[in-house]
Structure 1
């Protein structure tokens, strides 16, 4: 159970880091209503560049999402669903854990168990992809 406990802490840390990114980005860019709006600011309006720095974060827009790097080096990579909700998979959770100042390496099996244990906080929006319940 200790491994699942570590995985659970990692998942909760990712969710907290994602919330912190959201708050920092919306504070720095007043026109940002939701984190997904970063994609629109880059793609359709060119208001911000595809990669750059906002506050204590660097960011890089990619495909259907964005990767944020915190000032401590932790990486929060998130994709966005068609409705604009923030979604993530086990790979993104694992990468977050490995990027921490004191890396946490957990198996996909432990991460899967951790995510399931956090229901209803987290929901599986499609196979292997999760979102924080609103």
Structure 2
């Protein structure tokens, strides 16, 4: 049972980190309505594809962005067509491995933890999740 709790905690910490990043980016870029707007700002060349803002460095890629905090914690996120933040088990796993005390978990443990957190999290398509509104 301890393992399940640790993995659930990891998922909740990822969600908290993602929320903190979104808030920090909104403070740094007042025109930002939601985190997905960084992609449009990069495409319009209003911000660079990679940079450091506040306590985070970021790198925009295709349909998402990777953020790394000053302490090395990495949060990867993609953006759905509607602009919502979406993530998969791979992004959760890499988040766990980037922590100061890394936590390496199996996909099955991660899948179970994510599904146990419904309705907080929605599975928007197989293997991809978002935080419920």
Q: Normalising by structure 1, what TM-score? A: 0.98
1:94-125 Cα distance to aligned partner (Å, 9 max, x none): 00000001101111111111001100000000
Tell me what 1:34 maps to. 34
SS in 2 for 1:84: coil
Superposed displacement of residue 40, structure 1? 0.2
1:113 counterpart SS class = helix
- Structure 2 gaps of 5+ residues are none
Q: Which has the higher contact order (CA 8 A, sep 6+)?
A: 1
Three-state SS of the structure 1 residue aligned to 2:97 is: helix
Over the aligned positions, Cα root-mean-square deviation in angstroms equals 0.5
Q: Is the 8 A contact 1:81 1:87 kept in 2?
A: yes
Question: 1-side partners of 2:100 and 2:48: how far apart?
Answer: 28
Q: How far apart are the structure 2 equivalents of 1:86 and 1:14?
A: 12
Residue of structure 2 in register with 1:49 after alignment: 48
What is the TM-score of this pair, normalised by structure 2?
A: 0.99
